[in-house]
Each structure stands twice: as structure tokens, then as C-alpha cells.
Amino acid sequence: MIEIQPEEADALWGAISRLIDGRDLDTLTPDEFVDLALEANVLLPAELRRRVIEYRRYAPEGDVVLLRGLLPRDVAFPPTAEAPWARTTGAGQQAALLLTSVTVMLGEPFTYSSLYEGRIVQNMVPVQGMEFTQTSQSSTGILDWHCEDSFRDDRCDYAGLICLRGDPSAASMYAPVNAVELAPELVATLREPRYNVRPDPAHVLADAPLRRASILSGSDESPEIAYDTHHIAPDETDTEAAHALRELGAGLDKVAISHVMEPGDLLIFDNKRVVHARTPFAARFDGTDRWLMRSMICASALTYRRWGTRIPD
């Protein structure tokens, strides 16, 4: 855990406010917004920058890192955004820039054109009528284990979630795949491309063919995972692959770690080595609901250059 002292958070918030200087950040292009986040990055406390870079290079405490106290305690945020793609103002924009000023140390912030109207920073908020969906817009129903965008080979390497408003019932859960203990024969099955992966409903796609993939990849010492409880399945006749997938799900449950996000918390995780979820909570839809913001990061300069854009299709 990286803890920011209250006086550091106050000074940082003031410095970022002066950098913004009254501008409406929604008028910036995605590239201009990230350029501004790079300017804001040098305003971060030196120890915070050192620790985040250390996490990127060595992950000494694991594939998840929690920053606490990043926001001043007395910030007056506008009402909780009504949708992941909703525009925000004032302190909401400032928090989005602060989030990106941290995550830009891990690579290039990006998103997909099919996801939440191509917003570089998305609101993770409950939406009325979406309470039981398997998206960040859910609330009453659990958001089950998943990696971000497992249906894509070029899914994000890291994701960062900053909390503007919390809810004591909504625990963010995560499970590092290298902590899961499975029999060798199960691991071998999960490493074979015997699984069909389809996009999650957060993406708006005219054509969404199934992708054939393995669940596990990488070395035995540092395995990677592509997982989604509801959107990955083997062929109906492949009972061996189905059994391995069920055992993996049970193994993730056993090593799960829970954290209730509080205002000022920033949770960063390796999207290729960690799965995450969220417990149910009761949304009120009155402007005071839980409000997180998300930044997705491409850590590969080669992949980013191949896209040729910050918002690939």
C-alpha cells in the first residue's frame, strides 16, 4: 500500500487545479488530455512516483497496488455521474486528470471506440435498469470474476480505479492467478485453446465473433489469465475443459481479497495476472451513489503504435 499524507493530497489537488486553470477538460482531445496528465505527473509526490514505477518494474508486493488518501477529504464533487460515458465538471474533471497523471506512469492511457463512447476515463457507476447486468453499471447483482475485455488479444495491461464516492456494501474483490492452486492436469487443459470468448455487453459491436483462446498462458512462475465468468465457455461436448474451468473458478474464490473502496483510494491491478469482481450494493440513483473512475493502460509501446490511435476499434 502507498499512503499519501493529507497535506500532500491538499498540495497536489491545489497544484492540479492551478494547472487546469479553469479550462473545461472535455474540450480537449484524448491526446491533449493525456499530454496534460503528463504535465500533472511531475506534481505528484516524489515517493508516490517512485513506488508506482517500482510496481511497474518489479511488482514487489504483488500484481495489485493500493494508493490511499490521494484526494483531499473536503473535496465537493458534483452529483454522481449518471452513466459511464457521462461528462462531468469541476472536481470530477480534476479527479479524472489526477487518476490519469498516476496511470500514465504505467504506459499509454487508451480505450476502445466500442466501449462507453470512447471515453478515456470512464465512470464506474450504477445505472437504473442495469442493476443485474454483468457490467460496471450493475449494483443489486454481483459483478462476477472477470478480466477487462478478455475477448481481445490487445486488452489493457493495467487498469486503475479511483474512488470519488464509496459504498460500504460494495467491496472490490481481486484474485491473483499465481495464488491459485490447481492440479497439473487442470492447468494443462486451461492452457489449451479450447474456450470460446465473446464480448461483454458493455461493448457496442455490430459484429462480435467468438474468439477461440486458452484461459492460462505465460510461464509457470508468472502465469497470465483471460477470464470472464459469464462470457467464456468451452464447446458443449468438451466436459474436460468445462471441469477445468469450474475448478479455476473455485480456486479464484479461495484466494479472493476484498477491499471496500473509500474516497481517495486508487486501486491499480495487472489485468493479465489478476481477475476482479464487485459485491452487490443498493443503489439509490439520487446523485450520491458509489462513483469510481477507470483508466485503462497499454504498457506496450509496440501495440500502441500499431493501433495508430488512442481509441482503437
Q: How many residues does the chain have?
A: 313
Residue that has been written with the C-alpha cell 499465481 in this structure: 178
| Res 222: pLDDT | 93
Confidence of residue 250 (pLDDT cuts 50, 70, 90): very high
- The stretch 103-117 carries a mean pLDDT of 97
| Res 161: pLDDT | 98
Q: Name residues whose C-beta falls within 8 Å of residue 97's C-beta, 6 or more positions apart in sequence.
A: 16, 20, 25, 33, 36, 37, 40
Indicate the residue type of 249: G
Q: Is pLDDT of 209 > 90?
A: no
- The stretch 306-311 carries a mean pLDDT of 97
Q: Is pLDDT of 305 > 90?
A: yes
- The stretch 179-200 carries a mean pLDDT of 96
| Res 311: pLDDT | 98
Q: Which ranges in 162-210 belong to alpha helices (H)?
A: 184-190
| Res 89: pLDDT | 94
Q: Which three cell numbers stand for residue 14?
A: 491545489
267, 172 contact by CB (below 8 A): yes
136, 265 contact by CB (below 8 A): no
pLDDT digits (tens, 9 = 90+) for 59-97: 999 999 999 999 999 999 999 999 999 999 999 999 999
Q: Is pLDDT of 207 > 80?
A: no
Over the range 38-67, which residues count as b (16 or more CB within 10 Å of their CB) and which as e?
eebbebbbeebbebbeebbeeeeebbbbbb
d(C-alpha 96, C-alpha 52), whole Å: 18
Tell me what percent of the residues of the chain surpass a pLDDT of 90.
96
d(C-alpha 177, C-alpha 116), whole Å: 28
| Res 201: pLDDT | 87
Q: Is pLDDT of 166 > 90?
A: yes
What is the average pLDDT value for the chain, to the nearest integer?
Answer: 96
d(C-alpha 269, C-alpha 304), whole Å: 19
d(C-alpha 125, C-alpha 138), whole Å: 8
Where exactly are the structural domains of the chain? 2-169+258-307, 179-251
Residue 28: how many other CB atoms lie within 10 Å: 16
Instruction: Supply φ then ψ for residue 272, to 5 degrees.
Output: -105, 0
| Res 115: pLDDT | 95
Q: Which three cell numbers stand for residue 133?
A: 447486468
pLDDT digits (tens, 9 = 90+) for 17-35: 999 999 999 999 999 999 9
| Res 200: pLDDT | 87
Over the range 235-249, which residues count as b (16 or more CB within 10 Å of their CB) and which as e?
eeebeebbebbebbe
Q: Is pLDDT of 16 > 90?
A: yes
d(C-alpha 275, C-alpha 223), whole Å: 12
Is the C-alpha dihedral spanning 39, 92, 139, 113 positive or negative? negative
97, 36 contact by CB (below 8 A): yes
Which numeric CATH code is attached to 2-169+258-307?
Answer: 3.60.130.10
